[in-house]
Amino acid sequence: MTNSISEIERADAILVTGSNTTEMHPVTATFIKRAVRKRGAKLILVDPRRIGLERFADKWLRPKPGTDVAWINGLIHVIIEESLHDEVYIGERTEGFAAVREVVKGYTPERVEKITGIPAADLVDAARIYGRAGAATLLYAMGITQHTTGTDNVKSLANLAMATGNVGIPNAGVNPLRGQNNVQGACDMGALPNVYSGYQSAADPAVRERMARAWQVDSLPEKPGLTLTEITEAVLAGEIRAMYIVGENPMLSDPDLKHLEKALRKLELLVVQDIFPTETAQLAHVVLPGVSFAEKDGTFTNTERRVQRVRKAVEPPGNARADWEIISALARQMGYETTYSGAEQIMEEIASVTPSYGGISFRRIERKGLQWPCPAPDHPGTRYLHKDRFTRGRGLFHAIDYHEPPEVPDDEYPLYLSTGRVLYHWHTGSMTRRSVGMVDRAPECEMEISADDAARYCINDGAPVRVRSRRGEIRAKAKVTAKAVDGTVFIPFHFAESAVNVLTHGKLDPVAKIPGLKVCAVSVQGA
């Protein structure tokens, strides 16, 4: 997030897209609701489904799945046409706007309506709300990123924010809501194929030299690694023979599961480190028992870049060990000696090699976390990014055109499928589906479908259904609901017995390599 969670409550306008915030980030959603109820903030919701925030929204836009670039360009088109863009900000702080202005000329409200299904008048109203706001914040999640055009979607949102001067000021910004409690921290620590901690490029010789010196090795590789989705193809091509998976369950969360399973079964060695025997662990040659959040010391970094302490509350059961202890023991077995005494010493090393974490220590975050960048021990942390200037100097606009998703409905598979989560389960359900209370609330996989589509395909509420795509078939329970939009069904991905990612395709965003989990074509019929 460029800005902080608390700032949402002080925004004049809030645009939420690709985020079922009340179910996926319920605490953050309270700031949105308070902003609307107590301060009169205007809420624009962009989502095909009738999610919980709809009743707080001044404007609800329902685009066809996979058409995000079109409606974002449409908003920018209206903002420019009505002179709601910030010419002074654009001239002083950004570059590349002329190319964006040229591209969005073609995204008139009428053309956007044809592409997205959003009524032209509604698009204009939303553009005016956002463009006229003193401070407008953008909130998005995986409904924006999990597309083959995910990178384009995010860049388009950045274009919208910069065009109106809403980056680098309080109560505004471009703010992704991260999907898990420490995914931000994992990325910060270099759990990406091309960077070290703090997003220091592995291609930079000076960075590699500094990291090698800290780790007391002669050199570090220049070549970037692969993303998880790329690794699958490399395994099938015989280029990778072993995998070590820590705290991840791709056999439910990744696309085209039959394809993935074929790859995992081909491995000569699959090691899974986790706290429960997940679907992925069932395929492993070796399972290493890790520990849960309540059984370890360390830090989590949340979605607003706040580094917070995690403290051990109970001892781990049996032979379970802290993740850092397991990794250190493996390193020693492979000939690399580590001398860590505990999590605090590791934090000290993180601060020493990561400029954005340079001023963060266990002592400083004993009672309250700090937001990076926090480069020095006397630095207070950073509430919002890009104040006065962007990290790269000038903010860079990107001229982006709309491209249709790689798979859209046809006669054989006439419905869009979108996937996601429900309030009572978490990710692949490895913990929540072992909780009696959670299972009682959401015991089985339900496919959301509109009343018109249910009538069209002769499906009754509560009846079993078969859902097919070009990759496979699953069974679920039909839920006829006003949340669903005609032409689209929604299925959560928590349920191994109805693993929706059997249906999704493996087409990737060319830059981020993220799969297009939010758009594929399916058919439905009674089971």
Is the confidence at residue 455, as pLDDT, over 90? yes
Residue 361 has pLDDT above 90, yes or no: yes
How many other CB atoms sit within 10 Å of the CB of residue 6? 11
- Contacts with 185 (C-beta within 8 Å, 6 or more apart), sequence order: 299, 300, 301, 307
Mean pLDDT of 460-489: 95
Q: What is the pLDDT of residue 311?
A: 95
pLDDT score at 197: 96
Contact 64, 486 (CB under 8 A): no
Q: Indicate the pLDDT class of residue 417, thresholds 50, 70 and 90.
A: very high
- State the amino acid at position 86 in one-letter form: D
* pLDDT classification of 375: cutoffs 50, 70, 90: very high
Q: Residue 215 pLDDT more than 90?
A: yes
Q: Taking residues 415-429, what's their average pLDDT?
A: 91
Q: Report which DSSP code applies to 352.
A: H
Q: What secondary structure letter does DSSP report for 390?
A: B
d(CA 405, CA 85): 29
Percent over 90 (pLDDT), the chain: 93
Q: Report in angstroms the alpha-carbon separations of 439 from 3, 444, 449.
A: 35, 8, 22
pLDDT at 426: 86
Whether pLDDT at 180 is above 90 = no
Please write the tens of the pLDDT for every residue from 492-515: 999 999 999 999 998 999 999 999
Report the DSSP pairing between strands 520-526 and 464-468.
antiparallel
Confidence of residue 228 (pLDDT cuts 50, 70, 90): confident
**DSSP 3-state of 417:** strand
Residue from 77, 67, 57, 253 nearest 144 by CA: 67
- Spatial separation of the C-alpha atoms in residues 163 and 101, rounded to whole Å: 10
Kindly tell me if the per-residue pLDDT of 72 is higher than 90. Answer: yes
* Surface-to-core class of residue 289, CB atoms within 10 Å of its CB (0-12 exposed, 13-18 middle, 19+ buried): middle
What CATH number matches the domain at 5-177, 3.90.550.10, 3.40.50.720, 3.30.360.10, 3.40.228.10? 3.40.228.10
Query: Poorest-confidence range of 137-141, 348-352, 418-422?
Result: 418-422
Question: pTM for the full model?
Answer: 0.93
Q: How far apart are CA 386 and CA 88, in angstroms?
A: 16
What is the CATH number assigned to the segment(s) 415-526? 2.40.40.20
Q: What is the mean pLDDT of the chain?
A: 95
**Domain ranges in the chain?**
5-177, 179-224+291-375, 226-289, 415-526
Helix (H, G, I), strand (E, B) or coil at 66: coil
Residue 294, pLDDT score: 94
Q: What number does CATH give the domain 179-224+291-375?
A: 3.40.50.740
> Are 99 and 397 spatial neighbours (Cβ–Cβ below 8 Å)?
yes
Tell which residue, 507, 481, 450, has the closest CA to residue 519: 507
> Is the pLDDT higher at 313 or at 181?
313
pLDDT band at 306 (very low <50, low <70, confident <90, very high): very high
**Do the domains at 5-177 and 226-289 have one common CATH topology?**
no
Return the pLDDT at 179. 81
pLDDT at 527 over 90: no
> Does residue 181 have a pLDDT over 90?
no
List the structure tokens of 300: 């989590």
Going by pLDDT thresholds of 50, 70 and 90, the confidence category of residue 133 is very high
Report, as an integer, the average pLDDT of 390-414. 95
CATH number of 226-289: 3.40.50.740
- What's the rounded mean pLDDT across residues 401-421? 94
Amino acid at 473: E
Residue 101 has pLDDT above 90, yes or no: yes
pLDDT band at 80 (very low <50, low <70, confident <90, very high): very high
**pLDDT band, residue 472 (cuts 50/70/90):** very high
pLDDT of residue 427 exceeding 90: no
Range 302-314 average pLDDT: 96
Q: How confident is the model at residue 479 (pLDDT cuts 50, 70, 90)?
A: very high
